[in-house]
Structure 1
Amino acid sequence: MSTKQEEFTNLSLDLVFGVSVEDLLQEYLKEKELEFSCECGGRTSSYRSSFSTLPQVLIMQLKRFRFSPSLELEKADEPVTLLRDLVLTSAQGGSCYSLISTISHIGGTERGHYICDGVHPDDSPDDPRDRWLSFNDSVVFRTSGSAVCRHQKQDAYILFYKRQV
């Protein structure tokens, strides 16, 4: 067994149809088999990712762009259930995280537009008023975290979760 420690500022998660952000994160962290061949006759190996420490802000990129079997770039618009809260564990214990912002990509591979939604700067992520702002070029309008989670299932591209204190 060998161990390799790396410092990440974000995670890139493969999309799977009909799942939640938590499911994608669990898939990322589960043990995976690797093809392997060595002089000793071994043919398989595996690896598993885990957190040794937890970041203050966890940034997750949903892999919305991929190559088709014919090597054409395509947008993956599989819906992903966005969760307001996540619980993560590390070697040092667990922490709760709250969704504080999303970046969404509207459009396809040839043309598109990015918008950002985030917790109102005067609120905390767990404020019962659930005030968020949506930034779409020069237009800023009020929204809510629950509305963002409902409406951005197919377009959310980058998610920002902040550790609760």
Structure 2
Amino acid sequence: MDDEDDTRMLLCEALRGRGFDAEAVESAQAGLERLRSKSFDVVVTDVQMPGMNGVELCAQLHERHPDLLPIVLTGLGALDTAVAAIRAGAYDFITKPVKIDALEVAVRRALEHLSVRNEVKRLRAAVDRELPIATIAGTSSALRATTELIRQVADSDATVLITG
């Protein structure tokens, strides 16, 4: 998201050229509107835009799309703005003028972070499913059969009553 046409198109084309599925919009409001119809993993946004600025956008994204990772573009020497953006929910920031290699590294790092976060969620869910079963004490064949039955139906949405 950038209100400067040349910058917006240059960054979008550069990211596409490096294998990313990138789209460009001219304002924070247009970006929020686009997010209603399509999901994205990372948002790259300028801080200085008319209307809603990048820091305000990060706060909105954090509230509406908590899994989305914003990367903010700030002017050189605007450390206070970068800190404000991070506090508002930005994942990272890059100073202008933007070096395409630095942008690519930041986007790849954000995607890796997202991948790790999703893996942690998946593993936690697996542990939550398995832990109650693992805490069942006993070694009888009837208890082992019951435990196996629990494992078979654990992923089902059906309500199951096990007696015995």
TM-score under structure 1 normalisation? 0.24
Higher fraction of helix: 2
Tell which structure's C-alpha radius of gyration is larger: 2
Higher fraction of strand: 1
Q: Which has the higher contact order (CA 8 A, sep 6+)?
A: 1
